[in-house]
Structure 1
Amino acid sequence: MKQHLTVVDHPLVQHKLTLMREKDTSTASFRQLLREISHLLAYEVTHELPVTTKHIETPMCPMDAPVIEGKKLVLVSILRAGNGLLDGILELVPAARVGFVGLYRDEETLKPVQYYFKVPKNLEDRTVILVDPMLATGNSSAAAVDLMKEAGARDIRFLCLLAAPEGVARMKEAHPDVPIITAALDDHLNEKGYIVPGLGDAGDRMYGTK
């Protein structure tokens, strides 16, 4: 089975993540850094995609050259903060199909509640990459994977910017078959469910809503 947690420790990833963590980084810079770091994380999450060959003609001679095999990738954003990672990955994989999952946390039960769900068809034949910058408690992420599996997805990967140990454990318990790719495994969650040291609320910092 694939490794459940992969931390991408590439120097460029870590450098850009440090800039994103700084509280004085502007909204515009934060958005740009998120787009740049998503390119680098996309290399990691896609490096095991199946490859076949295609017969082509170069200016010099014919050859059998490698191409990605199978149906197009599906990228699914957990709204709203997931859109920042989604935009960057789409620049690398522009032919990918795109889906969206909308979840909010019920303040009384603390359980995720679905308010939007729209994904491509034929998920059982496609690799699905679910994206959300923060894996905190893991409840929303686990619920999103539940929805994807109900929709037919069998090959799912979860891509995030930061993960907390609590969220990784929750995902491993609920979905041990879904590998997690992240730029950092942080220390813990505080009493409000924020990742520490973290970078605050990714959605608010990305869209300037705080």
Structure 2
Amino acid sequence: MSQSEVHVISHPLVQHKLTLMREQNRSTSSFRRLLNEISMLMAYEVTRDMPTQLIEIETPLEKMRSPVIDGKKTVFVNIMRAGAGFLDGMLNVVPGARVGHVGLYRDPKTLVAVEYYFKMPHSMHERDAIVLDPMLATGNSAVAAIDRLKEASPRSIRFVCLLAAPEGIRNLSETHPDVPIYTAAIDRGLNDHGYIMPGLGDAGDRMFGTR
């Protein structure tokens, strides 16, 4: 069975900021700021092979043809609510990108993802989708989001998370082997409640101060 490509972004700045985010006593404002910063750094790696086109510009000295990306062909897909923390940093790097939203919550008993909202830009078949969710734990939310996203037939799909558990990688990779996974770290595994260990707790609660 084919498996997804898994890219661990090991840049020292990414790893440094991730360590700070893991700390139990990190304040909500500090956690939010670090998530914004780390998402900007990860955006550079995720978009490394984005297609470019040549346009004609004029420098102070002469005309030339130079490459630009078409940000409007990129769609950041925010898995609500925690994906919002990734979104701002990514948009700082690719401000012309469109944004789609998938509203999911995890049933606390079954750990199954339940959808409550779905909205994508038009003409997804012409666009490259980058799905954002800080935690790839069981993988059920990521699988459910990508299941729905594929109904819109985007040109390509990538999944980006801050932390991943082996169980989540296996679930997403086996279900959608064509979707590469980008993460800052692969942690040990899941506890009995489906949380990543050692992890950093619930990313949404820590980001919005609801823990």
Task: Please report the TM-score for the alignment, with normalisation by the length of structure 2.
Answer: 0.95
User: Which residue of 2 is the match for residue 16 of structure 1?
Assistant: 17
Aligned to 1:102: 103
Partner of 1:155: 156
Q: Is the 8 A contact 1:71 1:125 kept in 2?
A: no
Percent identity (aligned):
62
Aligned to 1:202: 203
Give the partner amino acid of 1:106: D
- How far did 1:110 drift? 3.1
Q: Report the secondary structure of 2:42's partner residue.
A: helix
Tell me if the contact between 1:137 and 1:164 (Cα under 8 Å) persists in the aligned partners: yes
- Per the TM alignment, residue 190 of structure 1 is displaced from its structure 2 partner at its CA by 0.6
1:150 CA displacement:
0.7
Measured in 2, the distance between the counterparts of 1:9 and 1:110 equals 30
Equivalent position of 2:39 in the other structure: 38
Indicate the SS of the match to 1:142.
helix
Matched, 1:49 2:50: yes
- Whether the aligned pair in 1 keeps the contact of 2:55 and 2:66 (CA below 8 Å) is yes
Instruction: Give the whole-Å Cα distance in 2 for the aligned partners of 1:70 and 1:40.
Output: 17
Deviations 1:61-86 (A, max 9, x none): 11110111585210010000000000
Q: What is the rounded CA distance, in whole Å, between the counterparts of 1:192 and 1:107 in structure 2? A: 8
The Cα offsets for residues 151-183 of structure 1, whole Å up to 9 and x where unpaired, read as 222400001000000000001110000000010
C-alpha contact 2:4 2:178 (8 A) present in aligned 1: no
What is the rounded CA distance, in whole Å, between the counterparts of 1:90 and 1:20 in structure 2?
21
Whole-angstrom CA distance in 2 between matches of 1:69 and 1:141: 26
What RMSD, in angstroms, separates the aligned Cα atoms of the two structures?
A: 1.6
CA separation of 1:193/1:96 partners in 2, compared to 1, >3 Å: closer, same or farther? Answer: same
Match of 1:5 in 2: 6
Aligned to 2:192: 191
Q: CA deviation at 1:3?
A: 6.3
Which amino acid in 2 is paired with 1:150? Answer: E
- CA deviations on 1:20-63 (whole Å, 9 max, x unpaired) are 00001100000000000000100011011111211111001111
Amino acid at match of 1:132: D
SS at match of 2:7: strand
The answer to whether the aligner puts 1:176 opposite 2:177 as a matched pair is yes
One-letter code of the match for 2:171? R
Segment of structure 1 superposing worse, 67-76 or 143-152: 67-76
Residue 204 of structure 1 and its aligned partner are, at CA, apart by: 0.5
Gaps of 5+ in 2: none
Moved over 4 A (4+): none
Matched, 1:135 2:140: no
Paired position in structure 1 for 2:121:
120
The secondary structure found in structure 1 opposite 2:73 is coil
- Higher mean alpha-carbon deviation, 200-209 vs 59-68, is at 59-68
With the length of structure 1 as denominator, give the TM-score of the two structures.
0.96
Shift of 1:148: 0.4
Unaligned runs of 5+ in 1: none
